[in-house]
Amino acid sequence: MATNEARSTLCTTYDAAAHAASQLSSHSVLILYCQGRELGLPDGELSIVALSDAAASHVFLFDVLALSDKYNPALSPLFSLLHRRDITKIVWDCRTYLLELADTYGVLLQGVIDLQLLEVSTRGNNEKSPRVQHTTRYFRRIIDSGLTLPGDIHKLLGLDHCAGLYNVSEAGKRVRPSALRKEHGTSMWLLRPFPDVLQQQCVETTHMISLLYAHFQAKKKHFDQPEKWQEMTTRYMEAYPTRELHAAHVPRDLYKFLPLEVLTPPPTNTRRYKCEHCERMLAPESFPPSPVSNDDGDEPPQGSRSPRCRLCALLVLRSSEATVNTGPPAMSTAKPAMSTTSTPIATLISTYEQAAAAVQALTCYSTLILDCEGQDFNRPGGVLSIISVGTYPPSDTVYLFDVLALQDKENPLLAPLFSLLSDPEVGKLVWDGRGDFLELWLTYGVVVEGILDMQLAEVIRRPAYMKSHTLNYFSKSKAVMRDLESNPHLLDGIQRLVGLDHCAGILRVLDGCGVKDPAVTTLHETDGGSMWLNRPLPPMLRDYAARDIQLISRVSDFILPRVDIEQLREASARYMRVYPTRELKEAHVPLELSKFAPLDVIDAPPPGAPGYPCARCGRMLSLSCFATREPTAVAEGVDSVEREPDASFQDQGPSAGHRWRWTMCRLCVLIAVRKSEAQMESWG
């Protein structure tokens, strides 16, 4: 046990956890606080469980990463505390706790009272109350237009905000781990040794919850029916049964509001209907009597009821008004195009005359969407089969150029297509276009220019909660995590890629596109895509190709306004040239390099800087892509390289201007350690 100022104890061993749980078991009321990386989201991971007595006189911090063996009998007393109904756990916003504790330890959290619910339930209806205005300000434009806000719509308060309103806050003295958060995002909670500043934040948060508990407890009526509050809290926790639902609600602002049917349960044995927006199953009373926000012609769930619940109807209405009145121009024009365009028609182009006519129709667009399909794509012996081209903004047609029928690259009727593809003034939106770029060059000798790769754009504008996508890959290796603890900058510039459907799911732009045909996906996995060589081309493959074009368009609507186009264009050009041969691409697959954005792509190497070979991936990379150190003695596996001009190394002896580097780039070193590959090098 490591004790911090006699107010907290960090439990990192099973014996320490058992001893702490034994001390806590004498209390009938505990304060519970959990922390971790992106709790409740797909890449979430629980890191700390904080428990204290009701006054937070001593806070025990259970290190979940160190106490990972859920079958260790020493953890049973802790699990008992969390599971027992007769021991009340006081929390603030516990929506993710039920899921995280169940996923991590298989423990069903019970006996919980969430003070956030008490705050909401005691707001009253005084329009001048700051707590009531917290909701009305959010919907001010709607209220001013004459609509009445339902009484069960409540925007949630954060812990600090609420403590300030009740004058129990010590917010000015609260520790803020700003530097850690800026550098690591919520992955800071996975750092070990556990930083003192985070330990202090856990203690202060637990203490603040105890102060609010004392405030509510002073008014006896709030706790005269603890069973009622426990049942209410259970409904609150069960509102998010999956990580995917939580992730879907965050960009829609649903997570900012109290879910419907939490404060007041619906009648028993009542038929439920699915809200098309929040995807929750709710009683008919939770839907407005008329489809105030339904302009898409869908049938309401019952009679004249809206297909969206009351909360979602208001959020959609507010969002649509914001798009029309205050949204940025690029987004306000893109959204209507996305929402009103039906599924495009896939038109197969199988003659040279058809190809020339299709290109003529495409030339009036300054931006196109490009995607390719084939057998054993980007592998030795691969065959390009289909070039899919759509327009942006989208039209009702996607052209599928049949490469097998258009094999004569010398035919003059293909010249307009080649010219269009190589024209740098015509933008081409792609998703991971490296393979498309290579196959078009090998098949037709065409160098595609003007590429804007949306996969790179996603990495460039990736929000903080998605940065854990990279760390999560490496977190399964204790060796890598130890290295990152001592040097967090090892991950600088290293980004794990996401697939097109994954990204579209995160951005919630899949509506209307459906899911990938599982039959096609299975064929891709089992026969390398040989079905793309079948002629006539099956309808399901035409639809599959058209869907990818539509999905790239949807993702581009969201991402393009949020990135620097010129930066993206230059990075995309470097991205396309990472794989000059099929053999190099195939060699990188088992090395798991294709899962990551290549180094020296998003950030360009310095002009004129020399390149150095990586012994694992074979790429020529700038010095910044390697771990380096000043020379001491010649070490096996380490090359001596010249330092770029640096005044600080002038007149410092014979080794000035030089330093040693690893022969593997930083990305390859981390992947090799994670995969427990044979040691390839050392500092000696």
pLDDT, one tens digit per residue, over 257-288 is 999 999 988 777 677 788 888 988 888 889 98
Residue where a domain terminates, one of 555, 579, 598: 598
Where residue 546 sits, what CATH number does that domain have? Answer: 3.30.420.10
How far is CA 423 from each of CA 112, 200, 328, rounded to the nearest angstrom? 63, 58, 29
Give SS3 for 316.
Answer: helix
Label residue 371 exposed, middle or buried (CB < 10 Å: 0-12, 13-18, 19+).
Answer: buried
Residue 53 token pair: 């007595």
Strands 397-402 and 383-391: antiparallel
Give me the pLDDT at residue 558, please: 87
185 and 62 inside one domain: yes
Give the mean model confidence (pLDDT) for residues 110-135: 91
Residue where a domain terminates, one of 557, 572, 598: 598
Residue 616 token pair: 């694992």
User: What length does the chain have?
Assistant: 684
Q: What angle do CA 195, 200, 203 make, to 5 degrees?
A: 130
> Per residue in 509-529, pLDDT tens?
776 565 566 667 666 666 667
| DSSP state for residue 269 in the 8-state scheme | T
Neighbouring CB atoms inside 10 A of 652's CB total 10
447 and 560 inside one domain: yes
Look at residue 269 and tell me if it is in a domain: no
532 and 413 inside one domain: yes
247 and 364 inside one domain: no
Band of the pLDDT at 678, cuts 50, 70, 90? Answer: low
345 and 241 inside one domain: no
365 and 470 inside one domain: yes
Give the mean model confidence (pLDDT) for residues 483-488: 77
Look at residue 678 and tell me if it is in a domain: no
Say if residue 556's pLDDT is above 90.
yes
Give me the pLDDT at residue 102, please: 87
> Per residue in 459-484, pLDDT tens?
998 865 566 788 888 888 888 888 87
d(CA 372, CA 379): 14
Asked if 531 contacts 541 with a C-beta cutoff of 8 angstroms, the reply is: yes
Asked if 575 contacts 601 with a C-beta cutoff of 8 angstroms, the reply is: yes
- Listed in order, strand segments (DSSP E) in 475-625 are 612-613, 620-621
Look at residue 226 and tell me if it is in a domain: yes
d(CA 226, CA 293): 38
Band of the pLDDT at 224, cuts 50, 70, 90? Answer: confident
232 and 369 inside one domain: no
> Per residue in 404-448, pLDDT tens?
999 999 999 999 999 999 999 999 999 999 999 999 999 999 999
> Per residue in 184-209, pLDDT tens?
889 999 999 999 999 999 999 999 99
- Phi first, then psi: give them for residue 45, nearest 5 degrees: -150, 125
Closest CA to 314 of 285, 335, 293: 293
Closest CA to 66 of 21, 28, 12, 122: 12
Residue where a domain terminates, one of 206, 238, 260: 260
Look at residue 31 and tell me if it is in a domain: yes
Look at residue 645 and tell me if it is in a domain: no
**In which domain, by residue range, is 548 found?**
341-477+488-598
Say if residue 318's pLDDT is above 70.
yes
Give me the pLDDT at residue 338, please: 38
Look at residue 336 and tell me if it is in a domain: no
Look at residue 449 and tell me if it is in a domain: yes
Q: What is the largest CA-CA distance in the chain?
A: 88
Band of the pLDDT at 658, cuts 50, 70, 90? Answer: low
0.85 cut: is pTM over it? no
d(CA 305, CA 200): 50
66 and 191 inside one domain: yes
Between 567 and 2, whose confidence is greater? Answer: 567
Instruction: Give 383's strand partners.
Output: 375
Give the mean model confidence (pLDDT) for residues 559-565: 90
> Per residue in 579-627, pLDDT tens?
999 999 999 999 999 999 999 999 999 998 899 999 999 999 999 999 8
Asked if 48 contacts 88 with a C-beta cutoff of 8 angstroms, the reply is: no
80 and 221 inside one domain: yes
Look at residue 121 and tell me if it is in a domain: yes
Contacts of 314 (CB under 8 A, 6+ apart): 139, 142, 149, 150, 153, 293
DSSP H/E element including 32: strand 29-37
Average pLDDT over the chain, rounded to whole? 84
Number of domain units in the chain: 2
355 and 229 inside one domain: no
Q: Please name the residue that has the structure tokens 């393009």.
A: 560
